[in-house]
């Protein structure tokens, strides 16, 4: 039973991290980001020269997420 619970939990967490940036897309012009932090932003579903704030938070490493929080 425990492997099934772990699998369901993993599926729920993965779905959350995939769908949250998609549903709550907040596209911002990437010209507002300094050149030092351009590698931290994730475009995801936003048009060219824009980035998704939620995707930048969820689809980076923990260190990159903290840098994104501090830089904004």
Q: What residues does each domain of the chain span?
A: 2-71
Which one is predicted more confidently, 36 or 32? 32
Report pLDDT digits (tens) over 5-34.
999 999 999 999 889 899 988 888 888 777
Question: How far apart, in whole angstroms, are the C-alpha atoms of residue 72 and residue 68?
Answer: 6
User: Which among 47, 27, 51, 24 has a CA at the least distance from the CA of 37?
Assistant: 51
Question: How far apart, in whole angstroms, are the C-alpha atoms of residue 8 and residue 22?
Answer: 21
41: left (phi over 0), alpha (psi -120 to 50) or beta: beta
Q: What's the confidence (pLDDT) of residue 68?
A: 66
Round the average pLDDT of the chain to a whole number and report it.
Answer: 85
Tell if the pTM clears 0.85, that is, is over it: no
């Amino acid at each position: 039973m425990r492997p099934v619970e772990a699998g369901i939990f993993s599926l729920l967490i993965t779905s959350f991290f995939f769908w949250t940036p998609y549903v709550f897309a907040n596209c911002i012009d990437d010209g507002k980001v300094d050149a030092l932090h351009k590698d931290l932003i994730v475009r995801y579903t936003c048009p060219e020269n824009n980035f998704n704030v939620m995707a930048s938070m969820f689809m980076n490493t923990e260190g990159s997420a903290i840098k994104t929080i501090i830089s904004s």
